[in-house]
Amino acid sequence: MTTVITFGTFDVFHVGHLRVIQRAAAFGDRLVVGVSADALNLRKKDRLPVFPEAERMEIVGALKEVDEVFLEESLELKRDYVQKYDAQVLVMGDDWAGRFDELTDVCRVEYLPRTPAISTTALIEKIASTA
Ligand code: CTP
């Protein structure tokens, strides 16, 4: 049984999110997703996500590829989460390329190319500009 773990905000869920989850799931038998907390996003990006953490977790957790979701409370705890969920593979988008190489002593680390031309930030800007 190979457990895969991945992380993200997954706000205003879009096809780039779906594809990274589908590709992450293909690395193993069980996929665990850490959905980043509202407070973490506020600290990191200086704004709250559009959808609150409980709803973002509900959406991600409803996907057939996802076996378990949890709230990611800190970006610095990846090693603890990998160990807690007994993950053998950590999958991240290549916007994080190289940033988690230090974890290769506890799991395999894979960086996947992002789906081009879509992001939550771009979607929010597009919606705002047409409102
Ligand atoms: N992702 C992806 N392709 C995209 C957008 C996101 O593969 N076009 C992946 C990211 O690499 C990450 C996961 O989806 O592994 C969650 O990313 P997140 O930061 O929540 O989404 P973004 O759309 O990048 O959000 P933002 O614009 O706010 O940074």
Nearest atom within ligand 1 for CA of residue 113: 7
**Contact 51 CB / ligand 1 (< 6 Å):** no
CATH number, domain containing residue 123: 3.40.50.620
Tell me which of 7, 95, 118 to substitute to probe ligand 1's pocket, judged by most ligand atoms within 8 Å of the beta carbon. 95
Q: How many folded domains does the chain comprise?
A: 1
**Contact 36 CB / ligand 1 (< 6 Å):** no
**Contact 118 CB / ligand 1 (< 6 Å):** yes
108-112/89-93 β-pairing:
parallel
Which pLDDT score is estimated for 113? 97
pTM, whole model, 2 decimals? Answer: 0.96
Please determine, for residue 19, whether its predicted confidence score (pLDDT) is greater than 90.
yes
Please determine, for residue 131, whether its predicted confidence score (pLDDT) is greater than 90.
no
- Domain range for 21: 3-130
What mean pLDDT do residues 73-93 have?
A: 97
Which pLDDT score is estimated for 112? 97
- On average, the pLDDT of the chain sits at 96
Which pLDDT score is estimated for 48? 97
**Contact 9 CB / ligand 1 (< 6 Å):** yes
Please determine, for residue 94, whether its predicted confidence score (pLDDT) is greater than 90.
yes
The CA 121 to ligand 1 mean position distance, Å, reads 9
Q: Whose CA is nearest to atom 14 of ligand 1?
A: 17
